[in-house]
Amino acid sequence: SQQGEEDPQALSIQEGENATMNCSYKTSINNLQWYRQNSGRGLVHLILIRSNEREKHSGRLRVTLDTSKKSSSLLITASRAADTASYFCALTDSWGKLQFGAGTQVVVTP
């Protein structure tokens, strides 16, 4: 079964900087979702982008999807200490199954 691969595995930035993480995958998808997980807690849905969409925004989040390159990126602008978390991309395949990657761990220092 396929799953997304996030890059980088870990990211350390200062408050106010932008954080960018990428997700690559191998087969066709119905949609791609991004989730955030604070340490040891449940995942929280951030944004869903459908396969026929190229870009979506939600507050300080910007997600792009390039189906020709089979990749997506999540940009967090003007990061805050509260953005410290792990971020996961999840692919919905043609069967409706959600497959998660291993995540990008983001640390934002004041």
Partner 1 sequence: EAQVTQNPRYLITVTGKKLTVTCSQNMNHEYMSWYRQDPGLGLRQIYYSMNVEVTDKGDVPEGYKVSRKEKRNFPLILESPSPNQTSLYFCASRKSGYSYEQYFGPGTRLTVT
CB 11 within 8 A of CB 87: no
Interaction of residue 97 with partner 1, rule CB under 8 A: yes
Distance set, CA 15 to CA 32, 35, 43, 90 (Å): 27, 21, 23, 26
In the complex, the smallest distance separating the C-beta of residue 52 from partner 1, rounded to whole angstroms, is 11
Q: List the Cα angle 94/72/88 in 5-degree steps.
A: 80
Interaction of residue 103 with partner 1, rule CB under 8 A: yes
Using the rule CB under 8 A, give the single segment among 39-47, 56-64, 66-74, 75-83 that binds partner 1: 39-47
Interacting residues with partner 1 (CB under 8 A): 1, 3, 30-31, 33, 35, 40-45, 48, 50, 88, 90, 92, 96-103
